[in-house]
Amino acid sequence: MDRGYTNFLTHLHAGGTKIPLQKIQATLSHYLAHASPLPTPLAGTVVSSPLFLALSYQRLQTLSTAFRYSLHLKYQLIEAELEERRSQSLGWGLLANVFSRGVITRIQQWVGAILKGLQGGHPILRLACCCGILLGMEDLRVVVPKEGDDNHRRITFEGSTAKGNVEDETVVALAESMDRYSYLEGDAGWEKEFRKMVDAEEVDALSLSLIMMSQCASLIPSDKLRAIPLQTLSRLLASSIEATFQSGTYLSKLDASCTLAQDGTLSVSNVTDRVKNGWEESLLGGLTSDEMTPEIQALSTNIWTTFKTMLFSVVMISKEVLQEAVYVSPTSYQPSFDGSKNTAPSDLALLTLRSLYNLSFIIYEFGGVASLVSADQGGGFKELKETFYLALDNLTGQLLLDADDQLPGRRSQVEAWTREICAQIRTTMPVQSVHASFECGTLTRLRDNSKEMVISTGPRAMAGLHNLRTQVLVHCRRAKTAFVLATIEQLIPVLSAGSLQDWVLPICLPILEDDEHREAYESAHSVLLAIFSSRAQDLLATPHDIDPYPSANSHDMLERQSQKLATNIDTNIAVRLLPLYTSYLIESSRQGKLNVHQLRLAFSTVVRFASASVKATTSEEPTSTAEKYGLTWYCIEALLNAIRDLSEERTRSQSLGAYDDHRHRLHLMLISTIPSLPLDLLPRVLDEIRAIIIQGRKRHFDLGSTPARLADREARRKELNQALLSEILEGVGDLEKDFVMRWWYDNRHILEDDIRLGADHQRLGSARKKEVKNPDGALSRL
C-alpha cells in the first residue's frame, strides 16, 4: 500500500489536521481516481471522517470539488489506458477494442463503487459528494474535441444508469437533510425530542445543504425533484434567508426575535420591515463620509454590503416567481382540499411590493425604480426594475381588461394597498426637511464600544444626536415617498375616484411645491399626468352618444350608461384639478425645475385631457366654441398670459439671458399643444404662434444686442420653427392636418429663411404636391 495513501487516511480519521484544505482536495481527487480496484472504501472513509463532519461551507465545497475533479482524472486515466493498449496491440487494435470495456462503462462502474461507499454516511456529506459527481459529468458532457484529434470525442451520461443513481442519491440526501435539520420552534409533537440539533458553534447545516443543492439542482430532471415537498422546501428556504439576515434585527437595539410563519409567506416582508425600522432608528444614515472616522467608514461599508445583498436576494427570488405567475389566470387559484386558500399571483405581487417598499432607502441609492437612466449610467440595476414592473403586472394586469368587474377581490386589494402606503407617507409628511449640519456640536468620534454606538460631540451633544436622527428620518421618508409615487403612477388606471381624491392627491400636491427632492418632485408630476392621460384615454374610448332614456330591455345601453357615469365621476376630479395643475406647470417652467422636454409633454397631456373632456363636463350641447372648449382655452390663455407677463418682467429687468430662456420654454410649451387642440381652436393658437415668431424676428435686429445674444436668439428662433414643423408633420391627426398644412403654406414666407433647405420642409412639400394632384383625396379621417 502507498505510504502517502496511509498517511492521508490517518489525517482523515484524526480530523484535527493542519493540512490546508486545498492540499486535502487535490490529494482526495488523486486517490479517488487511482484507487485500485475500486474507490468504495475511500468514499466510505470520507463521509465518516471527523474532518468533514465539522460542517462548514469551505469543507463541503472542498469535498464537492474533490469528487468533481476526480471524475476528470478518472476519465483521463481511462483514455490514456485505452490509447496505450491501442498502440501496443499493433494490428490487433480493432480486435482489442471490441473485447475491451468502453469509457462510459468504466466510469459507470467507478461511480457505482463510490455510491456504495457513500451509503450510510452523513446526508449533507453525501449531498456534497453527489453534487460534485453531477457537476463532473456535466463538465465531461460539454468537452469540445481537439482539432485534428478524431479519437477525442464528446461523451454523455444522459440516460445512463450511473447518472440516474447519482440523481436519486442527491434527492434522497437532500430529503434526509431537510428531515434532520428542519426543526422549528413552532413545531409540536413528541417527535421533536428525537431530532438532532445543530451545535451552536456550527454553521446552520440546513442552509448548507440548500446551498449545495442549488449548485446542481438544474442538472436533475424535474420529475425527480417533485419528490421533495415544494411547500416544505419553500418554507425552509425562507427560514434560511431569514436566519441569514437575523430576521432583519441586526440593526436593532432589541434582542432578535427569530419567529417564523409556518407557511413562509410573510418571512421576506417581515425581515425587510425590521431592517427598515432598524435603519430609521440608527444614526449612521445621517452621517456623510467626511463626518466618519476610518473605522466607522469600514463599518458603514459592511452594513451597506449587507443591505445590497438583501435587496439582491429579494429581487432575484421574486423575479423568478413572478415571471411564472404572470401567465397564470387568477381564477385558477381555488381553495385547496383542506380548506386553506392557495397563494394567488396578486398576493405574491403585494408581498414583493411591500418588501421593496421596506427596502426603498436602499433602492433610492440605485436611482429608484422610476429612473429612465440605464443601469450602465447609474440608474439602478435592470433586475430591480423588471421585478417592480412584474409585480405590478401580476397585481393589475387583468384588471385593465376586467370591464365587467369579475375580479372585485383583486380590485379591493389594489385599493387597500394604495390606502396603506399613502397612509404611511401621510404620517411622516409633517417632518420638515433639514440640511446636514452640525451647528450644535462638532463630531469628534464615533466608535463601536461593547457593541453599542457611542457618539462624542461638542457641548450640545443631545441636539447633535437629534439632528442626526432627523436627517435619517428625512432621508428614509424621501426614499419611501419616491417609491410610493412611482407605484401609484402605475396604478392610476385601476384606482377609484375616492382613492384618488382622499389618498393620492393629498400626497402629490404638497410635493409639487418642493423641487429639492428631485425624484419625488418628478414622480408627483408623473402621477398627476397619469391621471389626466388615463382619463383622457377613457373619454376618447367611451361612446358619448348614448340615449339618456334607454329602454328597460336594453341591457347593453344600461351598462354603457353606467360606464359613462363612472367615467364622468373620475373626470370631474381631474377637471377640478386642472386649473391648479396648470398653474403648477407654468411655475415649473422656471430654471432648475422641469426641463423643456418634461414641460412640453406635461402641458400637451393637460390640453389633451381638456379637449377630450368636452362632452363629459356638459349636460347639454354647447352653443358656442367658447362654451364648448372653455376648459381647453383656459389652459392656453393661462400660458399666453404667463408669456406676456414674463415679457413685461424682462423689460424691467437687467438679467435678460435667464428671462429669454424662460420665455423660450413657454413658447415651446405652447407649440407642443398643437396636436392636442381641436380644430375650432387651432386658428387662434397658430396665429399666436405666428405672432411670437414674427416678434422674435423683429427682436433679432434690436439695437444694443451683442453678437453672442444675437446668436442665441437666432438659435432659439430656429428651434421654434423646427418644433412647429415637427408637430405639424408628426403630431397632428388626420382630421386637422388639412388645415394646418394650408396654414403653413400661407405663412411659409415667415419661416422659409430658417428651414428652406430642411428635410422636414421637403417632406411637407411632397405631401402638399400629392394633395394638389389629388384634390378629391380625403386627407382627413372623419
Strand, helix or coil for residue 303: helix
Q: Are 166 and 115 in contact (CB under 8 A)?
A: yes
Residue 406 identity (one-letter amino acid):
Q
Residues of the chain with pLDDT under 70: 1, 88-101, 142-155, 182-203, 244-271, 275-293, 330-342, 371-380, 398-409, 430-470, 472, 542-571, 615-626, 648-657, 696-706, 751-782
Q: Three-state secondary structure along 407-430? A: CHHHHHHHHHHHHHHHHHHHHHCC
Domain contains 501: no
Please check whether residues 22 and 164 belong to one and the same domain.
yes
Please tell me the predicted confidence (pLDDT) of residue 165.
92
Domain contains 69: yes
Please check whether residues 319 and 459 belong to one and the same domain.
yes
Q: Which domain holds residue 182?
A: 3-228
Please check whether residues 100 and 186 belong to one and the same domain.
yes
Number of domains in the chain: 3
Domain contains 528: no
Reported pTM: 0.68
Domain contains 129: yes
Of 467, 482, 497, which residue sits at a domain end? 482
Please check whether residues 299 and 190 belong to one and the same domain.
no
Please check whether residues 203 and 266 belong to one and the same domain.
no
Domain contains 251: no
Domain contains 305: yes
Please write the tens of the pLDDT for every residue from 249-280.
555 543 333 333 344 443 456 667 776 666 66
Please tell me the predicted confidence (pLDDT) of residue 441.
30
Please tell me the predicted confidence (pLDDT) of residue 41.
92
Please tell me the predicted confidence (pLDDT) of residue 770.
46
Please check whether residues 35 and 172 belong to one and the same domain.
yes
- Whole-number CA gyration radius for the chain: 36
Please tell me the predicted confidence (pLDDT) of residue 557.
44
What is 421-479 written as a DSSP string? HHHHHHHHTTSPP-----TT----EEEEETTEEEEE-SS-HHHHHHHHHHHHHHHHHHH
Nearest to 500 by CA among 475, 465, 530: 530
Please tell me the predicted confidence (pLDDT) of residue 673.
93
Please check whether residues 195 and 307 belong to one and the same domain.
no
Please check whether residues 594 and 672 belong to one and the same domain.
yes
Please tell me the predicted confidence (pLDDT) of residue 750.
72
Of 429, 456, 482, which residue sits at a domain end? 482
| CA distances, 459 to each of 86, 373, 442, 533 (Å) | 90, 45, 9, 56
Q: Are 434 and 470 in contact (CB under 8 A)?
A: yes
Strand, helix or coil for residue 298: helix
Would you give the DSSP letter of residue 263? T
Domain contains 556: no
Domain contains 580: no
Please tell me the predicted confidence (pLDDT) of residue 285.
59
3-state helix, strand, coil in the chain (%, to 5): 70, 0, 30
Please tell me the predicted confidence (pLDDT) of residue 265.
41
Give every CB contact of residue 32 below 8 A, 6+ residues apart in sequence: 39, 42, 43, 66, 67, 70, 73, 74, 114
Please check whether residues 206 and 288 belong to one and the same domain.
no
| CA distances, 742 to each of 104, 683, 736 (Å) | 82, 11, 10
Q: What is the C-alpha separation between 669 and 593, in angstroms, rounded?
A: 14
Q: Are 39 and 117 in contact (CB under 8 A)?
A: yes
Please check whether residues 206 and 298 belong to one and the same domain.
no
Q: What is the C-alpha separation between 484 and 523, in angstroms, rounded?
A: 9
Of 482, 507, 535, which residue sits at a domain end? 482
Angle 772-778-780 (CA atoms, 0-180°, nearest 5)?
115
Please tell me the predicted confidence (pLDDT) of residue 203.
46
